[in-house]
Chains A and B, each alone.
Chain A
Amino acid sequence: GQQLNQSPQSMFIQEGEDVSMNCTSSSIFNTWLWYKQDPGEGPVLLIALYKAGELTSNGRLTAQFGTTRKDSFLNISASIPSDVGIYFCAGQLGNFNKFYFGSGTKLNVKP
């Protein structure tokens, strides 16, 4: 199946710092999505991107759909302890019924 390479695998940061993570693929994606998973729960959608170059914000979160359509990044500004969790990128190719997920970035925030 398709592989999405997500990095970094994990991050340990201080509260208040900014965070950046990204996802790359060898295939062109039509949609890029970013999810957050809290411990013991299912993922929750944070941001959806639909067009190459698109930059979208959701509060302190900003994500971009890469111009090559093969990558995306997520930035979190001024991190807080409740940002702790696993962040996943996901994408769709031509078939909008199928979703491919990255391996996740585990974020730890020290108060």
Chain B
Amino acid sequence: EAQVTQNPRYLITVTGKKLTVTCSQNMNHEYMSWYRQDPGLGLRQIYYSMNVEVTDKGDVPEGYKVSRKEKRNFPLILESPSPNQTSLYFCASSLRTGINEQFFGPGTRLTVL
């Protein structure tokens, strides 16, 4: 089944404890992206990747890192999480840049205490 998977689905952590949210897609997509969803703000793009080893900042990249060493994986790294990073995170992928149909993962609900 073609899908985008994220792990973990739920995470409660404490301020300053490094964490990684994994994202994987099995559709051989070139483009991948991370978003955070907050009430009243919709989705905001954190980082995106056009292909392996090619990443760039979205609208709200502060406090996040990403890497794209393999085509299928696009992990989101929070080196020192803070409470304002408590949010619902979505990973998405599409065939390539310019193809607008992004397939979204199921989401990761992160709480930073």
Q: Could you tell me which A residues sit within 8 Å of B by CB distance?
A: 1-2, 4, 6, 31, 33, 40-45, 48, 88, 90, 92, 96-104
- Give the residue of A45, A97, A98, A103 whose beta carbon is less than 8 angstroms from that of B101: A45
Residue of B nearest to A104 (CB): B42
Given contacts A97-B48, A102-B42, A103-B42, contact A1 B59 (CB under 8 A): yes
Q: How far is the CB of A87 from chain B (nearest CB, A)?
A: 11
B contact residues, total (Cβ < 8 Å): 27
Q: Mark B26-65, 1 if CB is under 8 A from A, else 0.
A: 0000010101000011111100101000001011100000
The number of A-B residue pairs with CB atoms under 8 Å apart is 60
Q: Could you tell me which B residues sit within 8 Å of A by CB distance?
A: 4, 31, 33, 35, 40-45, 48, 50, 56, 58-60, 90, 92, 97-98, 100-102, 104-107
Contact A97 B56 (CB under 8 A): yes
CB-CB under 8 A from A97, the residues of chain B are 31, 48, 50, 56, 97
Whole-angstrom CA separation of A96 from B48 in the bound complex: 11
Residue of B nearest to A103 (CB): B42
Given contacts A1-B59, A98-B59, contact A48 B40 (CB under 8 A): no
